[in-house]
Amino acid sequence: MVNADKVTVTGRKLQEKRYRRHSGYPGGLRTRTLAEQLARRPEEVLRMAVRGMLPKNSLGRRQLLKMKVYAGPDHPHAAQRPEPLRLSRRAEVGS
């Protein structure tokens, strides 16, 4: 996925939707609104949305690892470049 920073939402979700994380220490609950999360880490917004839709088992965890999310249009992946397979005439006939 590319252009994660250009995600749009309807309604008052930018102010009302909260992302929560806990440090593990007493009183360690931290919250951010969707607007703050989009400003800091827009990739995580999409990753967490897809994570909620995946199965909650080892298959879902593996699928999430395969997903790549980037804030802008630039990414390090190159397109596949298939090359035609040259066959001899005798192999095409099936003899």
Per the structure block, which two tokens stand in for 18? 């909260």
Give pLDDT, residue 83: 87
pLDDT at 70 over 90: yes
CB of 7 within 8 A of CB of 46? yes
Question: Could you tell me if residue 93 is inside a domain?
Answer: no
Residue 38, both tokens: 């989009």
* Residue at 24 is within a domain: yes
Q: pLDDT tens digit string along 32-51? A: 999 999 999 999 999 999 99
For residue 49, give the nearest of 2, 94, 3, 4 by alpha carbon: 4
Is residue 85, in this structure, part of any structural domain at all?
no
Position with higher pLDDT, 81 vs 72:
72
* pTM attached to this predicted model: 0.75
Residue 91 lies in a domain: no
Q: What is the CATH number of the domain that holds 64?
A: 3.90.1180.10
Report the domain count for the chain.
1
Domain around 21: 4-72
